[in-house]
Amino acid sequence: MNIHQLLKHSYIRLLLILLLVTAISLSISFLIVKAYGLSFQDALSAFAEGAWGSPYVIGASINRAIYFALIGLGFILADRAKLANIGAEGQIAVGGIAATALCLYGGASGLPAGLVFLYPLLGAMLAGAFWGGIAGFLKAKMGTNEVISTLLLSFIAVWLLYCCVQSENLLKQPMTTSASLPESLPIPDATTIPLLFATSGYNLNLGLIITLLLAIAVYLILNYSRFGFNLKSVGFNAHASKRAGISVFSTIVLALVISGAFAGLAGGLMLQGDQQVLKTGFSSGYGFDGLVVGLLARGSVLGVFAAALVFGFLRSGGINLEMVAQLPSALVLVIQGIIILVIAGASTWLGRRGE
């Protein structure tokens, strides 16, 4: 089998793109690090230590990949109908707000102690679904461009989060000192996400299991369900789909509702897993990074996981690189910009080849 035959396989092409993206982004990032006076070897060591240097940081990298994967799964589902949900950042924010409110004030006396963490996650999903559904309704009813509506809704959600953590009447912790931080109270231990392999030090989030189950569901929906067929049909030609008896309105709305629910769930997992307190900057750019994961996956569920893992380890390594080299936090944004440019170039090249 020659190289041209190998490149005909979509997963091999995807793997090559991932390797190219990783190599270029790391190379340029290390050059930037070197400009700050850190040797290439020290930079590589710092990155590796932060990404996979111990069971704990491996678990942290995979946990970050979970959030990227959820957002990516929602993106490719909506993308099947040619809908671009770029509002995951806002959907994460409203998911975090809902999860915080339910963790602190919701009460779950009727649930077994080991399942108390589930109902805030459900609330986060519903909040994200509602936020995505607004854009879906505007698109289906009035033809509003979902790129614009989801982006503007993200700004609203981020400011809503800001208001919630700035007001004691909402979610801000009670004022104890003049320097009281604009954040919520820590959530109760009973509402935190259980950990997997904690005794071995990995501390994997139970969200990994949830995400794997949802990935299977998305794969089945896209490839073997009537709804998946409707998504593809509406994306190909909405007018012809309507004449064929497909409800274009419900297909568009439901696609963005599900996409928003996945991002909202990511927000709930972030709140109940890693952060356990709601504060400004809560979403930390995961929504926009997850968008890139969805683009890189090119509609493949397996591609989502591959890209999410790359981004999870890149982010963990970048955080440690920033601390060791004393680099400005903007370096992470530079890395993301490099990755997006490489992805855009690779996608354009594949598109011109008809792939």
pLDDT band at 108 (very low <50, low <70, confident <90, very high): low
Q: How far is CA 26 from the centre of its chain?
A: 21
Per-residue pLDDT band for 110 (boundaries 50, 70, 90) equals low
Q: What is the pTM of this model?
A: 0.88
What is the predicted pLDDT for the residue at 48? Answer: 83
In 3D space, the residue among 287, 261, 262, 282 whose CA is nearest the CA of residue 271 turns out to be 282
Residue 156 burial class via C-beta count within 10 angstroms: exposed 0-12, middle 13-18, buried 19 and up:
middle
Q: Render pLDDT for 112-151 as a digit per residue (tens, 0 to 9).
A: 777 889 999 999 999 999 999 999 999 999 999 999 999 9
Amino acid 107: pLDDT: 67
Token pair for residue 246?
């497909």
332 falls in which pLDDT band (50, 70, 90)? low
- Residue 102 makes CB contacts below 8 A (sequence gap 6+) with 119, 120, 123, 191
User: pLDDT band at 180, cuts 50/70/90?
Assistant: low
> pLDDT tens-digit profile of 202-257?
889 899 999 999 999 999 999 999 999 999 999 999 999 999 999 999 999 999 99
Mean pLDDT of 171-197: 79
Distance CA 52, CA 313 (A): 7
Q: Residues, the chain, total?
A: 355
pLDDT of residue 318: 79
Q: Number of H helices and number of E strands within the chain? A: 14, 2
Percent of the chain with pLDDT over 70: 82
Tell me the CATH class for 8-352: mainly alpha
The predicted pLDDT at position 135 comes to: 97
Q: Which of 296, 252, 293 is nearest to 145 (CA)?
A: 252
Query: What average pLDDT does the chain have?
Result: 85
pLDDT of 60 strictly over 60 = yes
Give ∠ CA 61-93-337 in degrees, rounded to 5: 55
Residue 3 confidence (pLDDT) above 60: no
| Confidence class for position 100, pLDDT limits 50, 70, 90 | very high
Q: Are the C-beta atoms of 87 and 151 separated by less than 8 Å?
A: yes
C-alpha 187/C-alpha 263 separation (Å) is: 20
